[in-house]
Amino acid sequence: MTRTSRGARTRRRRSFVVVIGVTTVALVVLFRPGGHAPSVNAGGPDPSVEPTTAATPPADSGGVDAWLAWVPGGFPASFRTRIARADGLSTTVMVAGDTLWMTASHDAGGSIVDRPTSPYAIPIDAFAVDPTSYAPFLPASDRARVVAALGAGKAVLGQRSADLRRLGPGGTMSFGPSTVEVGAVVPDDEVGWSEFLVNRDVGERLGIADDRYLLAFGDPGLTLSRFSGDVRALLPADTPLRTVRPGGTRFVRVASGVDPPIVMKEVFGEFDAYPQSADPAYLTMDRSWYDAHISTRPVPLLGDVTCNDALFPMLVGALQQVQAAGLGSELHVYSGCYAPRTVARSTTAPPSQHAYGAAIDINAPENPYGGTPTMDPRIVKIFEHWGFDWGGDFLIPDGMHFEYGVAPGG
């Protein structure tokens, strides 16, 4: 598909999303079935609570009933071997993940589906696993075909990714000189809500290098604090760590409390971009996507802000409620919304929610990244009511930051 037709497609998608955000809140289940995800990096229930879980996975686990651990930026290279020998864990798999830049895709008949104009490409949330190690974490109904596809060097797509890409088995996705055939399409939770899952060898060839998260099944009686301790013992001191018990989060993946890229694309539109040569953590965005989705408008209390059109209804609603509650004087500085860069300014991480214009920073001077948040809890509660996740709940606190979590009422 040409660049022009992709721009038209994102404009049509934006119009649909704005209708949901303004008038048809109930339809948000199309994007977020099951409602609001936990707060960003919330990590599930209080680790001081000590319930036990079964030693083995259920016969058809659906890919979600596992212990989960992740650290910002990925695990050390030696961790995968060491955690496999840890006491108390009966089965483990490490999932590697990095952003790949798709330059073209073709359907099973060889016709072009997407082909951004060079140097633009499409950022893809890509993961890699050892098929045999990953198999126990798949439901029995899909295990054989997923393992077969991965073993044959083919990609497995989540259903939402396949829908967005308009690809099925036999289609292909190209990343520069490397092309991978799609071998299977499965429910999103079976691929960790990624857009593209391949085996380790293919992943290494494409540039997927960082071990992002751990899935594990535990022995009888395993508790969250024990699991956390076993994982932490294998990490350098003071490494930020998030652990989640089975069933403790909807998105069983790295950054388990935030919306994965596939959800952000559905709600805010998918863009083409390319990393800037001077600083690859910052992106040059396709102008047609920017024009279709990003606007500068006045909002209560903050004045002019530049955000995604789909964010404005919930942002304005939250700020109006803050104002009505007499809390407007607590918002001192608008510190930015749209910013085309990657998460934590990492060159291998996905685009930040700011790149979609779907996050806003307020009162940055007194709420620096990594510092103790000082945001008024009453304001936090209002923003959460309007569907935002608050950065003060992040594994590394970011008290200035509010990002899209789910449309109001979802």
Same domain, 82 and 166: yes
Q: What is the CA radius of gyration of the chain?
A: 21
Residue that terminates a domain, selected from 220, 244, 268:
244
Same domain, 87 and 217: yes
Q: In sequence order, which ranges of 51-199 are alpha helices (DSSP H)?
A: 79-83, 131-134, 140-151, 159-165
Residue 299 φ then ψ, to 5° = -130, 160
Give the integer Cα–Cα distance in Å for 349 and 351.
7
- What pLDDT was estimated at residue 46? 31
Q: At 309, which CATH number?
A: 3.30.1380
Choose among 323, 235, 254: nearest CA to 97: 254
Is residue 256 situated within a structural domain? no
Residue that terminates a domain, selected from 222, 244, 266:
244
Is residue 224 situated within a structural domain? yes
Same domain, 172 and 51: yes
- What pLDDT was estimated at residue 36? 32
Choose among 245, 53, 65: nearest CA to 138: 65
For residue 381, give the 3-state DSSP assignment. Answer: helix
Is residue 96 situated within a structural domain? yes
- What pLDDT was estimated at residue 64? 55
Same domain, 204 and 341: no
- What pLDDT was estimated at residue 250? 92
Residue 140 φ then ψ, to 5° = -55, -30
Same domain, 47 and 172: yes
Is residue 37 situated within a structural domain? no
Regions of the chain with pLDDT less than 50: 1-62
- Domain range for 313 is 6-32+276-404
Same domain, 166 and 77: yes
Is residue 269 situated within a structural domain? no
- pLDDT, tens digit, 9 for 90 and up, residues 81-96: 999 999 889 999 999 9
Give the integer Cα–Cα distance in Å for 308 and 30.
20
Provide the number of structural domains found in the chain. 2
- pLDDT, tens digit, 9 for 90 and up, residues 123-132: 999 999 999 9
Same domain, 23 and 155: no
Kind and range of the H or E run holding 18: helix 3-23
CB 57 within 8 A of CB 217: yes
Same domain, 140 and 199: yes
For residue 96, give the 3-state DSSP assignment. Answer: strand
- What pLDDT was estimated at residue 23? 34
Is residue 262 situated within a structural domain? no
Same domain, 231 and 304: no
Q: pTM for the complete prediction?
A: 0.86
Give the integer Cα–Cα distance in Å for 222 and 268.
40
Both tokens of residue 140? 């029995």
- pLDDT, tens digit, 9 for 90 and up, residues 61-83: 445 589 999 999 999 999 999 99
Is residue 409 situated within a structural domain? no
Q: CA-CA distances (angstroms) from residue 33 to 62, 187, 188, 251, 374?
A: 15, 13, 12, 12, 33
- What pLDDT was estimated at residue 410? 57
Give the integer Cα–Cα distance in Å for 118 and 126.
21
Same domain, 156 and 91: yes
* 140: DSSP letter: H
Is residue 312 situated within a structural domain? yes
Same domain, 214 and 284: no
Give the integer Cα–Cα distance in Å for 405 and 176.
33
Same domain, 23 and 171: no
